[in-house]
Chains A and B, each alone.
Chain A
Amino acid sequence: MATSNAFAGADLELIDIRKDFPGFTALDDMDLTIPAGQFFALLGPSGCGKTTTLRIVAGLETPTQGQVMLGGKDITSAKPHERPINTVFQSYALFPHMTVLDNVAFGLRQRKVADAQKLAEDALNLVELGHLGDRRPQQLSGGQQQRVALARALVNRPSLLLLDEPLGALDLKLRRQMQIELKAIQLEVGLTFLHVTHDQEEAMDMADIVAVMNKGRIEQMGAPEVLYDRPKTVFVSKFLGQSNLFVGEVVEKNATSVSIEVGGNKITVDKKRAEKHTGKIAIGVRPEKADFHEKKPKLGSDHIVIGPGEIIDIRFTGVSNQYLIDIPNVGEVTVFAQNVGKSPEIALGANVYVSWKVEHSYGLADLPSGSEEE
Chain B
Amino acid sequence: MAFAAFGGGAPAKDNSASRKGGPIVLALLLPGMIYLGLFFMTPLLSLLVTALESPDPSGAIGAYFYDVNFGNFLTVVTSYWPQILRSFGYAFAATVFALAISYPLAYFIGVKLRTSPLIQRLLLTLVIAPFFISFLLRTIAWKQLLSDDSAFVSLLHALNILGPTQFFIGSDAAVIFGLTYNFIPFMTLPLFTNLERLDTRLLEAASDLYASPNKVFRKVTLPLSMPGIISGTLLTFIPIAGDYVNASRDFLGSSKTSMIGTMVEADFLQNWNYPSASALSVLLMGLILVMVTFYVRKSGTDDLL
Interface residues of A (CB under 8 A from B): 58-60, 79-81, 85-87, 89, 91, 93-97, 106-107, 110-111, 136, 152-153, 156
Contact across chains for B224 and A80 when beta carbons are under 8 A apart: no
Q: Which residues of B contact A87 (CB under 8 A)?
A: 205, 208
Q: Assuming the A-B contacts A93-B199, A97-B223, A136-B303, are A60 and B204 also in contact, with contact meaning beta carbons closer than 8 angstroms in the complex?
A: yes
Does residue B202 face the partner (Cβ distance < 8 Å to A)?
A: yes
A93 to B205, CA, bound (A): 6
Residue of A nearest to B207 (CB): A80
A107 to B202, CA, bound (A): 13
Looking at the complex, which one of A80, A107, A153 makes contact with B204 (CB distance below 8 Å)? Answer: A80
Does residue B201 face the partner (Cβ distance < 8 Å to A)?
A: yes
Interface-located stretch among B9-17, B155-163, B174-182, B209-217? B209-217
Contact across chains for B210 and A156 when beta carbons are under 8 A apart: yes
The main secondary structure of chain B at its interface with chain A is helix
A85 to B209, CA, bound (A): 8
Q: Which residues of A contact B111 (CB under 8 A)?
A: none
Q: Assuming the A-B contacts A110-B215, A136-B303, are A95 and B208 also in contact, with contact meaning beta carbons closer than 8 angstroms in the complex?
A: no
Contact across chains for B303 and A156 when beta carbons are under 8 A apart: no
Contact across chains for B303 and A86 when beta carbons are under 8 A apart: no
Contact across chains for B207 and A107 when beta carbons are under 8 A apart: no
Looking at the complex, which one of B208, B219, B220, B304 makes contact with A80 (CB distance below 8 Å)? Answer: B208
Least distance between B207 CB and chain A CB atoms (Å): 4
A287 to B62, CA, bound (A): 101
Contact across chains for A93 and B202 when beta carbons are under 8 A apart: yes
Q: Assuming the A-B contacts A96-B224, A97-B304, are A110 and B209 also in contact, with contact meaning beta carbons closer than 8 angstroms in the complex?
A: yes
Contact across chains for A95 and B215 when beta carbons are under 8 A apart: no
A95 to B204, CA, bound (A): 11
Looking at the complex, which one of B201, B211, B303, B304 makes contact with A81 (CB distance below 8 Å)? Answer: B211
Least distance between A341 CB and chain B CB atoms (Å): 51
Interface residue count for B (Cβ, 8 Å)? Answer: 19
A53 to B218, CA, bound (A): 29
18 sampled A-B residue pairs with Cβ under 8 A: A58-B208, A60-B208, A80-B207, A81-B209, A81-B210, A81-B212, A85-B208, A91-B201, A93-B201, A94-B205, A95-B205, A96-B202, A97-B223, A106-B211, A106-B219, A107-B209, A107-B210, A156-B209
Residue of A nearest to B199 (CB): A93
Interface set, chain B 200-247, CB cutoff 8 A to A: 201-202, 204-212, 215, 219-220, 223-224
A96 to B199, CA, bound (A): 10
Least distance between A74 CB and chain B CB atoms (Å): 19
Given A79-B207, A94-B205, A152-B209, 10 further pairs, Cβ under 8 A: A58-B208, A60-B207, A89-B201, A89-B204, A93-B202, A96-B224, A97-B304, A106-B211, A110-B209, A153-B209
A60 to B265, CA, bound (A): 58
Residue of A nearest to B220 (CB): A95
Contact across chains for A110 and B208 when beta carbons are under 8 A apart: no
Most central of B206, B209, B211, B220 by chain A CB within 10 Å: B209
Least distance between A149 CB and chain B CB atoms (Å): 9
Residue of B nearest to A80 (CB): B207
A97 to B303, CA, bound (A): 9
Q: Which residues of A contact B304 (CB under 8 A)?
A: 97
Least distance between A83 CB and chain B CB atoms (Å): 8
Least distance between A78 CB and chain B CB atoms (Å): 11
Looking at the complex, which one of A91, A94, A97 makes contact with B224 (CB distance below 8 Å)? Answer: A97
Least distance between A99 CB and chain B CB atoms (Å): 11
Residue of B nearest to A92 (CB): B205
Residue of A nearest to B301 (CB): A97
Contact across chains for B207 and A106 when beta carbons are under 8 A apart: no
Least distance between B229 CB and chain A CB atoms (Å): 13
Least distance between A102 CB and chain B CB atoms (Å): 10
Q: Mark B162-206, 1 if CB is under 8 A from A, else 0.
A: 000000000000000000000000000000000000010110111
Most central of A58, A97, A156 by chain B CB within 10 Å: A97
Contact across chains for A95 and B207 when beta carbons are under 8 A apart: no
Q: Mark B73-84, 1 if CB is under 8 A from A, else 0.
A: 000000000000
A87 to B220, CA, bound (A): 17
Q: Assuming the A-B contacts A110-B215, A136-B303, are A93 and B210 also in contact, with contact meaning beta carbons closer than 8 angstroms in the complex?
A: no
A93 to B201, CA, bound (A): 6
Contact across chains for B205 and A89 when beta carbons are under 8 A apart: yes
Most central of A60, A81, A86, A94 by chain B CB within 10 Å: A81
Least distance between A148 CB and chain B CB atoms (Å): 12
Q: Assuming the A-B contacts A91-B201, A110-B215, are A81 and B208 also in contact, with contact meaning beta carbons closer than 8 angstroms in the complex?
A: yes
Residue of B nearest to A87 (CB): B208
Q: Which residues of B contact A136 (CB under 8 A)?
A: 303
Least distance between B158 CB and chain A CB atoms (Å): 45
A337 to B303, CA, bound (A): 57
Q: Which residues of B contact A156 (CB under 8 A)?
A: 209-210
A80 to B223, CA, bound (A): 21
A96 to B220, CA, bound (A): 9
Contact across chains for A93 and B204 when beta carbons are under 8 A apart: yes
A79 to B199, CA, bound (A): 20
A156 to B206, CA, bound (A): 13
A95 to B212, CA, bound (A): 16
A59 to B202, CA, bound (A): 15
